[in-house]
Amino acid sequence: MNYILAPSILSADFLDLKNQIKQVEDAGAKYLHFDVMDGMFVPNISFGIPVLECIKGNTELILDVHLMIVDPERYFEKFKEAGAQILTVHVEAMKDPASDLKKIKELGMIPSITLSPNTPVEDVFPYLDLVKQVLVMTVNPGAGAQHYIDKCTDKIRAIRQEAERRGLDIDVEVDGGINEETIITAKEAGANVFVMGSSIFNHDPAKATKMYLDILK
């Protein structure tokens, strides 16, 4: 299994963003997780296209964009132009998930679907053959530094099992409340991509990245 760390800049020091991105990159992270919130799908507003454009071309990290916005299809082309490489969309936010996921692929991005903790896991099953990644939200979307919701572990397992049963090569990413303990729980359930905000950026980002990569070895 290929294990990947995806530091989430939601918890970064934005005045020092360039330096903080370099620290996690040099320490061995592979993705940079970018949380877009619109104040509608979730109560908070975070950051968007102009910030992503600044990052584009200034890092080798794969830009893993998580859209927490209503009707996300309105912005697919703009996110592609701004540098998104993996585009994650919420099953709850789309009117026509199959068509949206195909559009993401046609635009040259890697399609990824996600579901909030209260959404049944079966809701994403119809779309597994249209995605390269499923993101299992392990907190309610909308804020960093929340506690991992234990009942989500079964969803990680269910998605991994269903993908294997259907012979699909899918990454299972987890997002929310990942720390020294829950990273093991999620890994054992079948996750292989780990989003981490506060556990990395509220500490020394380089040291924390190295420590979590060691845990995954």
Angstrom distance (rounded) from CA 36 to CA 125? 24
| Nearer to Zn ion (CB atom), residue 7 or residue 97 | 7
What Cα–Cα distance (Å) separates residue 177 from each residue in 51, 111, 173, 200? Answer: 24, 24, 13, 11
Residue 35 annotated as catalytic: yes
Could you give the string, one character per residue 150-189, with x where binding to ligand DX5 holds by CB under 6 A and - elsewhere? -------------------------xxxx-----------
The full length of the chain comes to: 217
| Nearer to ligand DX5 (CB atom), residue 198 or residue 209 | 198
Of 204, 211, 207, whose CA–CA distance to 194 is shortest?
Answer: 211
| Nearer to Zn ion (CB atom), residue 129 or residue 141 | 141
* Interacting positions 92-111 with ligand DX5 (CB under 6 A): none
* The residue to which tokens 């290929």 are assigned: 2
**Can you give the binding site for Zn ion, defined by CB under 5 A?**
35, 66, 175
Residue 142 sits in the site that holds ligand DX5 (CB under 6 A): yes
What Cα–Cα distance (Å) separates residue 127 from each residue in 93, 101, 130, 143, 163? Answer: 14, 8, 5, 26, 11
Q: Which residues bind ligand DX5 (CB under 6 A)?
A: 8, 10-11, 33, 35, 66, 139, 141-146, 175-178, 195-199
Active site amino acids: 35, 175
